[in-house]
Structure formats: structure tokens, C-alpha cells
Amino acid sequence: MRHVIIGNGAAGISAALAIRDRRPTDRIDIISDEPHRHYSRVMLTDLIAGSVSEEKVYLVGPDFYREHGLVAHLGNTVGAIEPGAKTVHLASEPPLPYDRLLLAAGAAPNALSAPSTSDARVASSTPGITAHTTQGVYTLRTLDDALRVRRRALESRTALVSGGGMVGLKVATALTRLGLAVTVVAASRRVFSQVLEASAAEVFRHLLEEAGIRILTGDEIHTLEGRGWVERAHLRSGASVACDLVIVGKGVAPRLDLARRAEIACERGVLVDEYLETNRPGIFAAGDVAEAFDPSLDGRSPHALWPLAIEQGELAGANMAGDRRPYAGGVPMNSFHWDRIAVITLGASVPRGPQDHVLSKIDARRGIVRQLVFKGNRLTGAALIGDVDGAGALRALIQTGATPPVGLMESLLDGKLRKAWARWTMARA
């Protein structure tokens, strides 16, 4: 049997290893448009900050593919998928036939729509910044992106980050650690707007500002100015920010072009069933590109999260190899740690409908937030700042969909949960 995997990230590699464990002699081809062996996207901001070397970012050695009997097509682009002929067409190699195909190509950065006021005739590779723009504008998604950002950051004094979500704030902290004066501008009214309710976001914002990051919310870049290299950003509010580099950290979107052209069903991501198989028999999807079941939402949603990509990749690979294991869904977890700031969000961590309500315990002076989000009596999400004890127990409760007793909820809210959690799990056993 021949397996083709499009993607060399967490989902793709997890799938390849799951297949190899079950089918030692099958052919497995892995395709990636990047030239690098498997590496950790999670560590890219550490690379920018200089806390890890480039070599430490790699998760496998140079001989990994050969040792596991994997045929790697690195630095190669997929031109098309032909489901009827069960063939993947490559840009610079002969077509690859397959019996099972996995879509695990991940996500791409969302674009910055601001034009440039510079007369420099240099085009940037950043999505949304095309002609007549200044240099020094970057996204952060790949290892090459991180290396470019670090090189420019070491020559810079000021930086502007567009986006107040996880990507934007992690790169902002990395640049701050290099000694740059960093401003974050977010179009939303609060940082982490997708995962933090307003009162929690305000505590988090205060912690970031105390650490030296300037935060501007409810605003966005209108134009960029500079001759050759970016020098200043003009915001829609009329304010302007001096900057030697700009990072676009406005989230990511699943890479769906190949799937759509192959008439594979997509909505916000590639639609998959409980076995992570698409509407095209023999074609599976996993990781950032997949729209899979999320128990906290009681529905499907794409998530660009490393742990979920590993889970989905391993299960998709097992099913490609002949298992028939259903996916129970994964609870999304975001984690942010910098200096003395710790934030963990779980599941649907902000209210989304009239049935949702929030239990909170906030100590703004100490920078502590513990919030639990319920839909009716069911725990669907949580946000923890400062005191992140009990995140694992909360994730398990969200995953199971169980209705916990009031006493356990009070313990979880107070962060004093170990005995209460043990008693409750024993009672349910």
C-alpha cells in the first residue's frame, strides 16, 4: 500500500510514524514546500529571542526519514490532487500514486491589508504587502520567517506587531527580550479577544504593559512609510508609530486551495468525519487544515494548535493503515508563558451564546484570574492567568462533557482542587 502525506509538521510526522508502526513495509511519501526537516513551530519565538539555537528547533535528526523508511520530498510544491486517478502532482518531480492520502499542509498567515506610502521599489514576501512597499515587514509561520525576523531584529531598536492574539503577543515578548521597544496594535478592543473575556483580558494587558510592551487596541495599520526599510506606521486612528520592523501576527487560516480544487468538502477547514476521513474515500485530513470535532463547542472547528495536530495526525495515520478508531475530539488549549506571566485558556473560554455564563475569581492587584465558562450546567471552557493550577482537571471535565457538582466547581475556581478532584473521579469510577 502507498501512503502520501502532504505536510511535514506535527500532524504529518505523527501520521507517518503511526502508519510505519502498523505497516512496516508500506511506502510512505512526505511532501513539504519547505526545505527543512521536521521542526517545532512552537519554538520559533524562542529562536528569535536567542534562547535556543537553530539546531535545537529541529525535532528530528538528518537521518530520520531514512531510518524510518520515509521518502521525503522537501522543498517541493504540490500542484494538484487527482482523486479519481489517486495521484498527487508535484511541481518538480513525477506524479505520486497513492492508496491513502493525508492532507496535513497546515495553515497560512492572514494578510495585512495596509498599503505602503514609500516610493521604494521593493516587494515584500508578506501576504497583503505587494508592490512599492518597504522592506522589514514579516509574518511568522516558518523557520525561514523566524531567521529573517531575528536577523532584522538584531539590527533594530523599535518594532510594531500587528495582532493581539497568541502569535502577535509571543513574538512581541521575544522582541522585547532582545531589547527592542515593542508596540502591539490590535483591531479588537482587547488582547487575546478570541480566548479571554473582557475582564480577564484587561488583567493580562496590564501585566504586558508592566513588562514594557505598549498595547494599542481598537486600531490597526493604515499605511507604512519608509525608503527601502520600514520607518513608521500610520494607524487608522491618526496615530503613528516609529518602527524598524513590522510583524504581522493576525492569526492563520487553513490552507484549503488544493482540497477545494480536488472537490474535497471544505468550510472553514477540510471537513472530516469521526475517522478523520474526508468526503473523498481514502483521503484524510489532520492538524491545522482539518475542521474536526471540538467537544467544547459540541461541533466542528479548525484549530491551529500543536497538541491537537499530534493527536489528529496519529489517529489519521492509524486509520490510514487499517484501524477504525473514532476521534473523540480534542479540547483546544492555548498556553502563554513569559517571565512571571502565565496564561492558559481551555475550550470555549469566552461566552458565545445566551445559555453561556461565567464564574470568575479575579485578583487584579496580584494579576490572577480564574474564569470558568458554562453552557447550562456543562463546563465548556476556562481561562487561567497567574494561577494556572488545575488546568489538566479542567480540560478533562470539558472533554468528558460531565456536569460537575457545585463543590468541585468552587474548588476549581479557588485553585484548591486536588483532593476534591480525586474524590469526584473516585465517586464516578
Encode the chain (429 residues) as per-residue pLDDT tens digits. 999 999 999 999 999 999 999 999 999 999 999 999 999 999 999 999 999 999 999 999 999 999 999 999 999 999 999 999 999 999 999 999 999 999 999 999 987 765 555 433 233 334 444 333 569 999 999 999 999 999 999 999 999 999 999 999 999 999 999 999 999 999 999 999 999 999 999 999 999 999 999 999 999 999 999 888 999 999 999 999 999 999 999 889 999 999 999 999 999 999 999 999 999 999 999 999 999 999 999 899 999 999 999 999 999 999 999 999 999 999 999 999 988 899 999 999 998 888 888 888 999 999 999 999 998 888 999 999 999 988 888 898 899 887 766 666 777 777 665 555 555 555 555
Please check whether residues 191 and 309 belong to one and the same domain: no
Please check whether residues 375 and 390 belong to one and the same domain: yes
Residue ending a domain, among 232, 250, 268, is 250
- CATH number, domain with residue 237: 3.50.50.60
Please check whether residues 261 and 173 belong to one and the same domain: no
Cα 315 to Cα 12: distance, rounded to the nearest angstrom:
11
For residue 109 the three cell numbers come to: 498567515
Instruction: Report yes or no on 334 lying in a domain.
Output: no
Q: How many domains does the chain have?
A: 3
Please check whether residues 161 and 240 belong to one and the same domain: yes
Instruction: Report yes or no on 327 lying in a domain.
Output: no
What's the pTM value of the predicted model, to 2 decimals? 0.90
Please check whether residues 310 and 278 belong to one and the same domain: yes
Please check whether residues 245 and 258 belong to one and the same domain: no
Can you give the residue range of the structural domain that contains 157? 111-250
Residue ending a domain, among 210, 229, 250, is 250
Instruction: Report yes or no on 329 lying in a domain.
Output: no
- CATH number, domain with residue 389: 3.30.390.30
